Amino acid sequence: MDFICSTGIGYLCGAMARFTPHSCQACTMHQHSFFSRLKEEELTDLEKNKTCSFAKKGQVIFAESGTPRGLFCIGRGKIKLSATGLDGKEQILRLANTGDIIGYRSLLSNDRYHCTATALEDVEYCYIEKECFLHFVHSNPDFCSAVFQKISADLRNAEELIVSMSQKNVRERMAEALLFLKATYGLESDGTTLNIQLSRTELADYVGTSTESAIRILSEFNHDKLICLSGKKIKLLNEEKLTRTANLQL
């Protein structure tokens, strides 16, 4: 597995890999993040303290136990955040999408990364240096408040995942996971196919079960016409029944 160095300056097989930097003022993604609370002069300062890079599918952007020196704003693509258990099995903790910001929790807590960020497809991202980010946190109350709101939202999502993992059976968790993937990544142009392709092992790692169980449950869903399987592609055929299977409110 190839790695992107934890400082965010992307190296692919020894060669520096960057794409043309996006203007922070013109970037539509920052309007949906805590960076939208920055003033114009602060956005200009942000431009001077960021590096725009890309990662190929399967490459690690930052690794578990690594030392954070900045945070990452996803300009395009999908990323999984996963941790390795004592048994060596991977558990996917979160799936990130275009516009998401990752790596900031460890930065704020002055802690090592508790998970590994891996590109699920070719990804473009901007890396913002630690000192620049912390300067905004300390000097801009609106920005600081937005960061805390983001932390609170992520904590709520983590708590919901814990409840789901502890109280729901595997079949319920798989149905909920498929609906979550739709809510996070949307559908392809046909209006039914999930706009993300995960391997059966990755789905199992997210749901918290074995690959064999994930394959069996997906086959059952396919047989019951809740979904339609075509390789890694999954079509959602009956979202109402999936919602009931997930034990969620309609």
Rounded CA separation 82/94 (Å): 7
- Residue 3: predicted pLDDT: 42
Q: Read off the amino acid at residue 23.
A: S
- Residue 2: predicted pLDDT: 44
CATH 1.10.10.10 placement within the chain: 168-245
**Tokens describing residue 101:** 């910001």
Helix (H) or strand (E) holding 124: strand 123-129
Class of domain 168-245: mainly alpha
CATH 2.60.120.10 placement within the chain: 11-159
Residue ranges of the chain with per-residue pLDDT less than 70:
1-23, 25-32, 249-250
- Residue 25: predicted pLDDT: 67
> What's the CATH number for 11-159?
2.60.120.10
Rounded CA separation 181/188 (Å): 12
Helix (H) or strand (E) holding 47: helix 40-48
Query: 124 has which bridge partners?
Result: 54, 76
Global confidence as pTM: 0.82
Question: Under DSSP, is residue 128 helix (H, G, I), strand (E, B) or coil?
Answer: strand
Question: Is there a contact between 237 and 227 (Cβ–Cβ < 8 Å)?
Answer: yes
